Amino acid sequence: AMSQEIEEEQEFEGLIASQDDNDLERNGVEMTERRGGSRQSRQKQKQEAADGILIGSNGSILAQFMLEGRGRLACGLVCALFVVVLTPRLFSLFSWSSPEHMHRIRQQNQIKNYQKGTALMINVHVTHHAGETVSSSLGRAPHTDGCPSVACNEPRPPEDHVVESKYPYQHPWTYQDTGRNIAIVRQYFHFIGWEFKRPPKGAVSLADTNWDHQNLVSIFVTRDPITRMLAEDARVKQAYPFVYNRDSGSEDQWMQFAKDDAYGDNYALRILAGKDCCNGANTDARHLENAKDLLRRFTFIIDIDCL
Question: 13: part of which helix (H) or strand (E)?
Answer: helix 2-81
Question: How would residue 193 be classed by pLDDT, with cut points 50, 70 and 90?
Answer: very high
Start-end of H helices in 82-192:
87-94, 99-116, 131-134, 175-185
Residue 144 has pLDDT above 70, yes or no: yes
Confidence of residue 204 (pLDDT cuts 50, 70, 90): very high
DSSP letter assigned to residue 154: B
Convert the pLDDT of each residue in 110-135 to its tens digit. Answer: 999 999 999 999 999 998 888 888 88
**In contact, 154 and 171? CB cutoff 8 Å:** no
Positive or negative, the CA dihedral 30, 31, 36, 37 is positive
Cα–Cα distance measured from residue 273 to residue 109, given in angstroms and rounded to the nearest whole number: 27
Per-residue pLDDT reduced to its tens digit, 243-266: 877 767 888 988 888 888 777 777
| pTM over cut 0.75 | no
Identify the CA nearest to 213 among candidates 178, 167, 173, 168: 178
Query: Is residue 267 very low, low, confident or very high in pLDDT (cuts 50, 70, 90)?
Result: confident
* Burial per residue of 8-21, b for 16 or more beta-carbon CB atoms within 10 angstroms, e otherwise: eeeeeeeeeeeeee
Q: Are 268 and 283 in contact (CB under 8 A)?
A: no
